[in-house]
Structure 1
Amino acid sequence: MKIAIPLLGFGRAGGQRVLSRLATELTELGHEVYLIVPDDGVQAYYPTNAKQIRTKKTRTRFRLFNLLSNYYHIWSALKAVTPDLAVANHHLTAYLVWLLPRKIKKCYYIQAYEVVFGSNNITKLIAYLTYLLPLNKIVNSSTILPKKLNNYIGVVPAGIDLDLYYPRTSSQISKRSIGLIGRKEKHKGTKEIIQLLSKWGQDKKIIVNVAVFLSEENKEYLENNRIAYNFTPISNDGELANFYRSNDLIIATGLVEDGAFHYPCAEAMACGCSVISNYAPLVHSKSILKIETFNTKFLEEKLELFYEADEVSIHNELAANISLVSDYSWRNVSKKFDSYITQIYKELS
């Protein structure tokens, strides 16, 4: 099958990461996969074996003109490939896929309910309307969309490279090292987590380890509350995996999209860390550390549970986490995705 996937760019975002690897896996399964991306002079951050088509990128001082021109070039390239199937992954590319000729089968792989990220009512509406388009929906979580929009044909979570994200060899648990992936975006909840740890951890001699991003405001908050901390900038997945394995506990929570697949949650589980999260895969387990939604009271309760748990309970939790994420290998995930797109192709042919 010839598959075309439009992307808005080759960045470090989770959605682009998933599509780059998924394209590689689908290529290895025998499909001819094209990634169609604006030519901004940036090499793909996440490597892929799929074919790449770089479209012309318009740069003028008129932003709206640039936007419309760039989307037209992506749409033209999509159409020129004459794919059997086109896969959208973002609300703006969903419109491009929808506008393709009817003979092309169309799929919308939804990894986020993007309405919650809209900056105003217009951008929220633009995102919302894409979930009403006649596109076959594949979602990364059965609860990611509101019930009235949740007419998906299958659930395919993102995959994990289990050769890279593997459990640490040490069985010693000090309960001191608590890690999190710091992010600039407010909805990621970094500020809320650090403020809680700064208060909760004052008499517990914890060390807060932050990877990727730590703002000056959050640094000052930790220092003013005399909390020991380390900051680790991450430049590749190997460093990220080592960061997870250096912690006893990872807090992988966020303020939106409860229950959605979350890479820090899944990767930390695979690396043999205790994890507190309101995201998948942890929410699908029997973990005593999962929470339904982000709330500082809930988070503090789970921190106390972890701090008071004995080693046997913690090791049982870790074993259960590792067992659960074993189903999230890229090969398993890609085969599941392949089964759904094959179904789309056969039913609509």
Structure 2
Amino acid sequence: MRILIPITNFGHGGGGRVLSRLASAWTAAGHPTDFLVDARSPKPYFPTDAGVHRFDERGLVDGPAPDESAFASSGNGLSIYQGMYHGLNQIGTNYDVILANHSLTAWPVRFARAGNARKFYYVQAYEPEYFALESGWKSKVLRRFSEWSYSLALHQIANAPIYVGHRSIRATSWIPPGLDVSVFHRRSAIPHFSDRDTPIVIGTIGRKEATKGTIHVLEAFTRLHALDPRFRLRVAFGNLPDGWAQRPGIEVVAPRGDAELAAYYRSVDILAAPGTVQLGACHYPVLEAMASGTPVVTTGYLPASADNSWLVPVRDSDAVADAILNIVATPAHELERRLDLAHSAVQRFSWQQVAKDFLDQFSNAAKLSHD
């Protein structure tokens, strides 16, 4: 089957990586995949083997990507979705599947004339919750259009079980974002904590947003470092509150690309990711650390469970510290058992498996339409 993915631009976010990797996996499996993107967007930030068609406000246009992005969603919204709609009308009939992947792209996908193409909507996040964080009339309008998009006649697929049937989302199945298990592979040996002269390195991803829970890791580390100076904190990407990066025992690193990020996860003894929202959703730091064979402390993101990780309540720095102390005190055989379970849990998230799950959904929809 031929697959078309309409997007506004090739962004730097995790959603862009998901789409680029899926498109490459589908193409490799013999299902040619193309993006339909605004002409002002630069080349894909995340490499992909998919083809690219570009549009302006009138529809398809020829020409290469701009050397530097002239794309800006602010003030250009109408031209983006008008052009996407016209572009879909021009080439949609050449495809078997059209995949919307954002609440606002769902509208041109739904109403474009695309022959017999089957139209899907991959709900990557519950967007009204994000728009609700901002004030003003524009956010209210975006929130309303996002909510309405879930009632459109599209085959919906959620990216986590918590979104199945959540509020107005009509998805009855879910497929997670994927992971390159050849890059995020298991470390050669489990962490050991018996040597009193060896530092115990806690890892976390630096984020200033309160919902990411970084401050609770910092507070937990302060308690642990005062208790035992062996404890160190290695923060990926910085983004810490003012003054924290200069505190004793804290190191900031900046991994470049997935290979260095995977090496970072294997370089720490414990990874803490105590986010405060959308518990039960997929969270890449949790998934990547589990795949890398690193014990994880989290508030409950996929695929963490009480059997393969250490779960803590939200906004509880003491619970994070206690969980880390629990890991340090865990006998080696029990720690290895949990890490074995974690390794098994992440296999569903390999790109090959995720791509296959999508293809199965596409095929099942085709069979139902012929019955």
Common fold: TM-score over 0.5: yes
1:111 aligns with 2:124: yes
1:124 aligns with 2:143: yes
Q: Equivalent residue for 1:204?
A: 228
Q: Equivalent residue for 1:72?
A: 82
- What whole-Å deviation, never above 9, does each CA across 1:253-273 have from its counterpart, x for those lacking one? 322111111111111111110
Other structure's SS at 1:53 match: strand
Return the alpha-carbon distance in structure 1 between the equivalents of residues 313 and 366 of structure 2: 37
Do 2:7 and 2:37's aligned partners in 1 also have CA atoms closer than 8 Å? yes
Gaps of 5+ in 2: 58-68, 194-198
Cα distance, 1:33–1:326 mapped onto 2, change above 3 Å: same
Structure with the bigger RCO (C-alpha within 8 Å, sep 6+) is 1
Do 1:198 and 1:221's aligned partners in 2 also have CA atoms closer than 8 Å? no
Other structure's SS at 1:46 match: coil
Q: Which has the larger radius of gyration?
A: 2
- What whole-Å deviation, never above 9, does each CA across 1:279-298 have from its counterpart, x for those lacking one? 10113x62350346554454
Return the alpha-carbon distance in structure 2 between the equivalents of residues 36 and 186 of structure 1: 35
1:59-208 alignment runs, 5 A limit: 63-64=74-75, 66-82=76-92, 83-101=95-113, 103=115, 104-118=117-131, 119-120=134-135, 122=140, 123-144=142-163, 147-174=166-193, 176-205=200-229, 206-208=231-233
Do 1:116 and 1:256's aligned partners in 2 also have CA atoms closer than 8 Å? no
Q: Equivalent residue for 2:281?
A: 260
Q: How far has the Cα of 1:328 moved from its partner?
A: 2.0
Return the alpha-carbon distance in structure 2 between the equivalents of residues 186 and 71 of structure 1: 32
Q: Equivalent residue for 2:303?
A: 281
Q: How far has the Cα of 1:73 moved from its partner?
A: 1.7
Please tell me the residue identity of whatever aligns with 2:272: I
Return the alpha-carbon distance in structure 1 between the equivalents of residues 320 and 123 of structure 2: 28
- The match for 1:250 among 271, 276, 282 is 271
Cα distance, 1:10–1:327 mapped onto 2, change above 3 Å: same
Do 2:165 and 2:171's aligned partners in 1 also have CA atoms closer than 8 Å? no
Other structure's SS at 2:46 match: coil
Return the alpha-carbon distance in structure 2 between the equivalents of residues 10 and 3 of structure 1: 17
Aligned residues: 343
TM-score by length of 1: 0.89
Gaps of 5+ in 1: none
Do 1:195 and 1:221's aligned partners in 2 also have CA atoms closer than 8 Å? no
Do 1:138 and 1:154's aligned partners in 2 also have CA atoms closer than 8 Å? yes
Return the alpha-carbon distance in structure 1 between the equivalents of residues 143 and 228 of structure 2: 43
Return the alpha-carbon distance in structure 2 between the equivalents of residues 292 and 146 of structure 1: 25
Return the alpha-carbon distance in structure 1 between the equivalents of residues 100 and 71 of structure 2: 27
TM-score by length of 2: 0.84
Q: Equivalent residue for 1:230?
A: 251
Return the alpha-carbon distance in structure 1 between the equivalents of residues 296 and 286 of structure 2: 7
Cα distance, 1:73–1:230 mapped onto 2, change above 3 Å: same
Do 1:105 and 1:348's aligned partners in 2 also have CA atoms closer than 8 Å? no
Please tell me the residue identity of whatever aligns with 2:47: P
Q: How far has the Cα of 1:23 moved from its partner?
A: 0.8
RMSD: 2.6
Do 1:202 and 1:227's aligned partners in 2 also have CA atoms closer than 8 Å? no
1:19 aligns with 2:29: no
Identity of aligned residues (%): 29
Do 1:241 and 1:267's aligned partners in 2 also have CA atoms closer than 8 Å? yes
Return the alpha-carbon distance in structure 1 between the equivalents of residues 16 and 200 of structure 2: 34
- What whole-Å deviation, never above 9, does each CA across 1:165-206 have from its counterpart, x for those lacking one? 111113342371111122344432323432332334322321
Cα distance, 1:107–1:346 mapped onto 2, change above 3 Å: same
Q: How far has the Cα of 1:138 moved from its partner?
A: 0.8
Q: Equivalent residue for 1:52?
A: 52
Cα distance, 1:288–1:84 mapped onto 2, change above 3 Å: closer
Please tell me the residue identity of whatever aligns with 1:209: R
Q: How far has the Cα of 1:333 moved from its partner?
A: 1.3
Other structure's SS at 1:173 match: coil
Do 1:198 and 1:227's aligned partners in 2 also have CA atoms closer than 8 Å? no
